[in-house]
Every structure is written in structure tokens, then in C-alpha cells.
Structure 1
Amino acid sequence: MTDMSTGVTRRALLGAFAATAVSAAPFFPGVTAYARGSGDIRRLRMHSGRTGESIDIIYWIDGKYIPEALREINHFSRDWRNNEVHQIDTRTIDIMAATAQILRVNEPYMLLSGFRSQATNRMLRARSRNVAQNSLHLTGRAADVRLRSRSVSEMARAAAACGAGGVGRYSRSDFVHVDCGPVRTWGS
């Protein structure tokens, strides 16, 4: 299945997960079963410095998304300025989880920005020329994240290796933008 607006396929994302499972074999016990799809799980760990909240959640098991877990991720990724909640695209969630797998990290992402309301996006655009008018954050299709244990370059390379969306490097601000839009990279 391909999302015609983005060119992202489920197969590309599943391939990223399969590749990370195989490449992680020395570090994960029982990886053979994981690579076969038996007992396959996807997990996301994040912390928000803005709200003080943390999430460590399994959101996908054996080929099925867990609706309750997705609702928790949606709430966690809300626009913290006005508490507006929006559905986060599962492809963006999958890209973040696959990137963490590729990096072999257990630490939570620091979520800087998930969903953004129109009002928040307008305010941020007034302050910075680096905020897109039609940002994918407005539709729950993007996230800005950082990891203490990995550089922006390492994170960006891992996210780009997923081959499933946009990856922006913001080295001066110490974060990486990931989205499920067209495959592209930018920044330094």
C-alpha cells in the first residue's frame, strides 16, 4: 500500500524494521523470532521537557496497531501551548521507532514538537524563517526530536536510512525533524 501523496510505502517501513532486527542480532536475545515476525513489537519512548511527561509504550504487536496506545501517543504529542490533540500519522511514529532501532538506543527521545495547531505555527513563523507555512506538524505527520546520546548527524543518518520520509538536520538547535512526507533531506 502506497500513500500517493507521499510515496511512502508500508513495505519500506517494514523493511526498515526487518533490517534493524537482523542488524541488531548480537544485541537482542531472541532476534531470530523477531526477524521472522513472531512476537514482533514496536515501541516508542519519549519525554517532553515542556510538560514533564514521559511515555514508554508498545504501540504495535504482530502486525497490528494498538488503538489505545496510539491515543496515548496522540495525547503526548499534542500542542502543549493549547493542549490541542491531533492524530499522529502512524508512519511518523514508525519512522521514529525504526530510527531508535537503527541507533540501538533505549533512551527516550526528547520531543520538542509533535502536532502544532495553526495558531502555534503562525506564532512560530513570526519568530523564525525556518518554520514552514504548511508544516507537516499541522497534520500530525512530523516530529522534532533529540537524543542526548547521539549527535544530530547520527540521528539524521539513521532516520534517512529508513527511506520513508523527510529528515531535517538542525545542528545549531540540536534536533532532527522527521516526517512521513516525500523522501528528502535538508539542513546541516
Structure 2
Amino acid sequence: MTEISSTGISRRGVLLAFAATAVAAAPTFSNAAGFLRGAGDIRRIRLVSPRTGERLDTIYWIEGDYLKEAVREISLFMRDWRTNQVKNIDIRTIDIMAASHNLLDVSEPYTLLSGYRSAQTNAMLRSRSNGVARNSLHMVGEAADLRLGSRSVSQIYRAGVACGGGGVGRYSGSNFVHMDCGPVRTWGR
């Protein structure tokens, strides 16, 4: 389906090249709702995993199109690192994470503490903590636990809430914020 021009360059390749140079010039959006409605021409996510040592900095959406390869790369990155199982991460969760990050006006990547969790991992974590839900949205690829070194839990929480796209939980004692694409709700302190 990719169109190749007489020069051998695909339309997608040209868009990616332009997007890579445009990222630095991309505007900071004054509200996440506009961003989620498509106010931006590109969407980018930056993540680092302290568990695996991996880093991810990718553009996953250009001019209304999700880039399947980038979304797969995000899902692989957000895998259950304990079991190495991969689940497709819901693009709505990725959008909420990206919009929140954009509102915070930082270039620092999110530290991903937990993305997808297998049922086994969730049960193990649940046996160790009363803060883990039995039917966690992590188990269906719809949630992420995140932190930033340069922003407080309260700042990240407020950015997530401003998106109005799902659940946002504040875990100040553990220094992270939960974001998911489930029903809009908030919790924690």
C-alpha cells in the first residue's frame, strides 16, 4: 500500500523525515482536549524503562494516521518485563500519555514503571500490595504507571486529569501516576 515515487522514496518516508525535523518546532498545546481531537500534526511518545534499560522516542501518529510499526514498537516496549509477554497497548492510552507529556512541556522521557501486565504478574503484585486491582486495566493493555524526575506527582496527575480521557490515579507515596483509557475518574493523593 505504500506508494513509491520515481525517486524510490515513499510518501510515508517523506512524512517521517519532515516530522522528525518538525518535532522541535511543534507547538505546545494549551489544552489536551484539543490535542486529542487532532490539533497536532504529529504525536510523539518518549519512554525509558528502569527494569530493562530500554529507551523509546518515537513518532506514532502523523496527520491523522497511526503508524502501525511505531504502535507495535510501543506495545513491545510496554510489555510485561517479568514474563516478556506483549499485548497491544490501546492507542487511547498512548494518546493520553502523549498529551499529558505535552502539557507538562518537558523533553525528559516518562519513566515507565508498569505497562501491560500478564494475569500472573498482576496476581503476584496483588498478593504483595492492596493497591493492585483484581481486574486491572494493565492486564488488557489499557494502563500505564509513569513518573518524571523533573515534575511532581501532582503536576503529572493534573496534566492527566486535564486530558479528560480516562482514569488518573495519584500515588504520591510511591512517586508515580497511573493513566488509563477506562472510564473518566480520579483517585489518590
TM-score bracket for this pair, using the shorter chain length: 0.7 to 0.9
- When Rg is computed on C-alpha atoms for both structures, the one with the higher figure is 2
Instruction: Please give the alpha-carbon distance, in whole angstroms, between the structure 2 residues aligned to 1:22 and 1:134.
Output: 34
Instruction: Please give the alpha-carbon distance, in whole angstroms, between the structure 2 residues aligned to 1:80 and 1:148.
Output: 22
1:12-23 paired onto structure 2 within 5 Å: 21-23=28-30
SS of residue matched to 1:68: helix
Instruction: Please give the alpha-carbon distance, in whole angstroms, between the structure 2 residues aligned to 1:51 and 1:38.
Output: 34
**Displacement of 1:129 after TM fit?**
0.4
Q: 1:22 to 1:93 in 2, by over 3 A?
A: closer
Deviations 1:106-149 (A, max 9, x none): 10000000000000000000000000000000000000000000
SS of residue matched to 2:73: helix
| Structure with greater contact order relative to length (CA < 8 Å, sep ≥ 6) | 1
SS of residue matched to 1:85: coil
Q: 1:146 to 1:61 in 2, by over 3 A?
A: same
Contact in 2 for aligned 1:38/1:62 (Cα 8 Å): no
Identity of aligned residues (%): 65
Instruction: Please give the alpha-carbon distance, in whole angstroms, between the structure 2 residues aligned to 1:54 and 1:95.
Output: 19
Instruction: Please give the alpha-carbon distance, in whole angstroms, between the structure 2 residues aligned to 1:123 and 1:39.
Output: 40
Structure 1: stretches of 5+ with no match in the other structure = 1-19, 25-33
**Displacement of 1:38 after TM fit?**
8.8
Alignment TM-score, normalising by the size of structure 2: 0.81
**Displacement of 1:23 after TM fit?**
2.6
Runs of at least 4 residues of structure 1 off by over 2 A? 20-24
SS of residue matched to 2:100: helix
Contact in 1 for aligned 2:28/2:105 (Cα 8 Å): no
Instruction: Please give the alpha-carbon distance, in whole angstroms, between the structure 2 residues aligned to 1:94 and 1:41.
Output: 11
Residue 77 (1) aligns with residue 84 (2): no
Q: 1:38 to 1:104 in 2, by over 3 A?
A: closer
Residue 169 (1) aligns with residue 170 (2): yes
**Displacement of 1:151 after TM fit?**
0.3
**Displacement of 1:22 after TM fit?**
4.3
Instruction: Please give the alpha-carbon distance, in whole angstroms, between the structure 2 residues aligned to 1:73 and 1:105.
Output: 19
Q: Which residue of 2 aligns with 1:147?
A: 148
Q: Which residue of 2 aligns with 1:129?
A: 130
Instruction: Please give the alpha-carbon distance, in whole angstroms, between the structure 1 residues aligned to 2:137 and 2:47.
Output: 19
**Count of equivalent residues:** 158
SS of residue matched to 2:43: strand
CA RMSD of aligned residues (A): 1.7
Q: 1:39 to 1:187 in 2, by over 3 A?
A: closer
Contact in 1 for aligned 2:169/2:178 (Cα 8 Å): yes
Structure 2: stretches of 5+ with no match in the other structure = 1-26
Contact in 2 for aligned 1:60/1:66 (Cα 8 Å): yes
